[in-house]
Chains A and B, each alone.
Chain A
Amino acid sequence: MTSRIGSLPPLLPTDGPWKSAPQAASFAEREFQVAITTRLIEDQKNYWVAAGGGPMYSVLLARRLYAPNALYVTEDGIVGADPVLPLDPVMTVVAEKPSYRALQWTTMNGIGDHCAVGYMDVGILNALQIDPYGNINSTWVGEYPTKGRRVNGPGGADTIAAQCRRVILMTDHQKRKFVPKVDFISSPGFLDGSPGARERAGLPRNTGPWVVVTNWALFDFEEKTHRMRLRGIAPFITVDRVLAEMSFEPLVADTLETLDVPTEQEVNIFRAEMDTGGQYSDARGGWVVREEDRWKLAAA
C-alpha cells in the first residue's frame, strides 16, 4: 500500500554548492545517479566503497568537489588513497593507480577489522536486485540453486552491508531490480523488516541501509517498518513512472524532494577524470536534455 507520511528532514543538504552552480546542458541518467550519491557524501567521514562503478565514482567526485576529506577504503586494503585518474578498467584494486598516495596499505582482513570495530561510517554498494527492506542479491538470478544463473557473489558487500554504520545502495531503476523478494539475500538489509531482525541474526546494532539512489529517484527506509520509502525524484520523471518501474509498492513520503540535476562542473570532472570512455554512463540508461524549459528524458 502506498501511504502518506508527515514531513521529514531532507536527506540532501538544502544549501549545497550545486544549488547555485550552472547546470549541465545535458547529461546521462547514470550521471544524475552519481551526482546525487556524490552530494550525500560528507566530509571527514570514512567510506567503504565497492571497488568500481557508481560507488567508487561517487566518492571520487565528492572528494574533488564537496568533501575533500571524505576518506575511502576498498576491500583489498587500500586506505585513504589519492588515486591517479582515470583508473584503467578492472584495475581498481591492488594496482598502482588506485593505490597511489594512500595512507595505509593493509589487507582484506585489515579492512574487515576496521569495519567490525566501527570505523567505517558509510558503505556504498551496487545492487543487482533489491527488496522493500534493502536486502540485496548479487549471487543468483532465478530459483536457487537449480534454475537460473549464478552471478558474482557478495564479495565484500556482505561485510559492508552488515557492519558499516549506514549504507548507500545504488541500482538502476528497473522493474526487475526492485522485487518483492530477492532470489537470494547475498548481503543483508533489514531482513524481514521486523524490529531487531538484524541483531537476532548476529549483526551489530545501529547498522543497516540508509538510502537507495537510482537514475530516477531517491529512497530511504521508514524508521518503524523498515520499508523502502520514496523521498525524491528527478525533474525529468514522474512519480507514476517511478512507481510503475518497481515490482513492489514503496511507501511514499508526503512531500517529495525534487532532486537537482547535475551541474556543469560535476559532469565535466566526471567525464574527464572518471568515466572517460563513457563506459559507465553509456552502459545503461538514456540521455536527458532541456527542451522548452523542461528536462526531458530521451529514449535510451
Chain B
Amino acid sequence: MATERHLRILDEGRGDYLKVDPDGFRDWVGTKNRAMTPKLMTAAEAVSRFVADGDYITWECNYLQRGPSAVLREIVRQKKRRLWACGKFTWVAVALLVDAGCVDRADMGFFMGGPGLNRAVLEGRLKVWEYSNVVMTNRVRAGAMGLSFVQVRSLGGTTNFPHSAAKLIEDPYTGEPTVIVPALNPDVAIIHVHQADVYGNARIFGAGISDVDSAMASKKVVISTEEIIDTEDIRHNPGLTKIPFYAVDAVVHQPFGAYPGECPGHYASDSEHVGEVFTAMNRDKLGAYLQKWIYAYDSEEEMLEKAVGRVRLAELERRSTRKEGFRP
C-alpha cells in the first residue's frame, strides 16, 4: 500500500470567496431546460426572473465597450440588492452599481473608483477582495471546466495574495511553490452579443474578455443581442456559434444594448455620454447620473427614444466605419 502523503500549503490568503461546489453546479445544470424553446423577453423580465438579491454577478466587457449596459441599467432600475460583483476589466460599472446600492461585495480585477466608491469602501458598505483581471478570468474558466481550483503563475508575492482566497502550495508534480485560486461559478452572467437566435445560440465578433467561459460557468445566463437571427442561419455556419442555447436562460433583443459604449460593427460610443459618466464618477455626482439616465425612464427603449433620440443613434451608427470582421 502506498504511503499517505500530504499536500503542503505554504501560505494562504484570508479573503472570503464564493463557495466552491462543482458538483452542486452540475446539479444545477442538470435542472436547466434542454428544449429548444424560445427565450425572448424584455430586459425587465430577464432581470426580474434571473437576477436575485444576493447573487454573485459577472458581466462581460464593460459599460463602455460591448458590455450589457442596458441590462446593467435595468438591474439598477429594479433596485437589486447585495450583489457580489466580478470586477474585472470594467471602468465605471462597479461604481454605478455601488452608488445605486446594488453591490456590496466585489472581487477586484480592474475597476475605477472615485469619491463615492471610496467612501463605500471606508464605511464598510463595499467589501473588496483583491485579484487581477486574468486571475479572475482564469477562475471563471476553471468554473467552466467543472473544476474547483486552478493554478496561476501570478498573484504570488503581491499584496493581493493575503486579501484573496489564493493559496501558495508545493506543486505536487514539480515540487516548486505555485499559486492556486478557487474556481468561480457565478450565479448569473450578463453578456451582450452581436447576434443570437431566439433560443440563445449566440455569435460574438471581435476580441473579448471571457464571454464563453462566463456563459458556461454561470448558473443563470442572460444574453442581450443587437440582432435576432434565424436558427437556419446558425445551422449554416455553426462555427460562428460561441455560446450554445442550452446554457442560456434569457434572450433580450436589445439594439443599442451596449450604449453609451461602442458595439464594434454596429455603432460607435457616445463620447459625450462617456465623458459625462466619468465626470459624474470623479466628482461624486453618480446619483444625478443614475436619476437622469436610469430612474427617469421605465425602460431602455424609452430612455433611448427620449434621452438620446433617433438622430443621435443614427449618427453613432454612421460613426461605425471599420466593420470588417464584425459581420459573418
Task: Give the interface of A toward B (CB within 8 A).
Answer: 74-78, 84, 88-91, 93-97, 99-100, 102, 105-109, 111-112, 116, 135, 139, 144-147, 149-159, 161-163, 184-188, 191, 197-204
Q: How far is the CB of B227 from chain A (nearest CB, A)?
A: 17
Could you tell me if B137 and A109 are in contact, using CB atoms closer than 8 angstroms? yes
Residue B156, interface by CB 8 Å: yes
Q: How far is the CB of B295 from chain A (nearest CB, A)?
A: 25
Residue B64, interface by CB 8 Å: yes
The SS class assigned to the A binding surface is loop
Q: Given A100-B322, A162-B153, A204-B153, 12 more contacts at CB 8 Å?
A: A77-B207, A77-B209, A94-B206, A105-B205, A108-B133, A139-B108, A153-B108, A154-B108, A154-B109, A158-B154, A163-B153, A199-B177
User: Which of B157, B269, B271, B278 is close to A191, meaning CB atoms less than 8 Å apart?
Assistant: B157
Could you tell me if B206 and A203 are in contact, using CB atoms closer than 8 angstroms? no
A287 CA to B89 CA, complexed, in Å: 34
Q: Mark B66-102, 1 if CB is under 8 A from A, else 0.
A: 1000000000000000000001110100000000000
Task: Give the interface of B toward A (CB within 8 A).
Answer: 61, 64-66, 87-89, 91, 108-113, 117-118, 121-122, 128, 130, 132-135, 137-138, 141, 153-161, 163, 168, 176-179, 205-213, 262, 264-265, 268-269, 271, 274, 278, 320-326
Could you tell me if A139 and B159 are in contact, using CB atoms closer than 8 angstroms? yes
Could you tell me if A184 and B141 are in contact, using CB atoms closer than 8 angstroms? no
**CB nearest to A150 among chain B residues:** B113
Could you tell me if B209 and A188 are in contact, using CB atoms closer than 8 angstroms? no
User: Which of A107, A162, A185, A203 is close to B159, meaning CB atoms less than 8 Å apart?
Assistant: A185
Could you tell me if A107 and B207 are in contact, using CB atoms closer than 8 angstroms? yes
The SS class assigned to the B binding surface is loop
A184 CA to B322 CA, complexed, in Å: 41
- Sorted from nearest, which 6 A-B pairs have the closest CB atoms? A201-B157, A201-B156, A155-B110, A158-B132, A162-B154, A202-B156
The residues of B that contact A146 with a CB separation of less than 8 Å are 122
Could you tell me if B132 and A157 are in contact, using CB atoms closer than 8 angstroms? yes
Q: How far is the CB of A112 from chain B (nearest CB, A)?
A: 4
The residues of A that contact B128 with a CB separation of less than 8 Å are 145, 150
Question: Which of B128, B177, B207 counts the most chain A CB atoms within 10 A?
Answer: B207
A88 CA to B205 CA, complexed, in Å: 20
